[in-house]
Amino acid sequence: MSDFTKAIEHLSRSDKVLRGLIRKVGPCLLESKNHRSPFEALLQSIVYQQLNGTAAATILGRVKALYPGRRFPRPKDILATTDKRLRGAGLSRAKVAAIKDLAANTISGIVPSSKAIRSLSDEAIVERLTAVRGIGPWTVQMLLIFHLGRPDIWPVGDYGVRKGFARIYTRPDLPSPKELMGHGEKWRPYRTVAAWYLWRALDLE
């Protein structure tokens, strides 16, 4: 998804508050980074969980350094590496178990290839990927938005989306995921773009 004209028109018609935010923020600049395979994108997501960006990038760099001559390790490379070596790169025991499960599920086909994933529905992708240890719905939603460019992903559990919603609707408390799910119905089929604008609301004074 790269032309957001129809999405912005629909969102502006359906919600005057969101229309005001769109006017303040300007054009949607959401970009999908689809040069990585699902395995690569998910492995990076696992490494980054519960860490600040600098620390996570350092650990990911150490993991990749275990495989000289490769831009990124393959699933079979991960499985052939001892837990001790991966722990030595800075990964916790839980993350070592998670990336090994990810590698095994990629080899078995549960985690689809870059080509195969494009033919799957959003729901099918969520169902398959959340079967992997350490991968929850939020992680898959971020993959659908930023890797696959799917237009109607609505991450109602995302803190930034909830905070942005509370800000533009001048609410003292964060909305519940259930409330956001109901409110987002009028934004279909462009809820990804709505989420992007709610994230941007946090950048405004």
* CA 160 distance to own-chain centroid: 13
Q: Active-site positions?
A: 158
**What secondary structure does DSSP assign to 58-104, as a single string?**
HHHHHHHHTSTT-SS--HHHHHHS-HHHHHHTT--HHHHHHHHHHHH
* Lookup: tokens for 20: 């005001």
* Lookup: tokens for 193: 């773009």
* CA 28 distance to own-chain centroid: 18
Residues 6 or more apart from 95 whose CB is under 8 A from it?
Answer: 46, 47, 49, 134
First to last CA, the chain: 29
DSSP 8-state code for residue 148: S
Q: Which of 55, 133, 43 is nearest to 81 (CA)?
A: 43
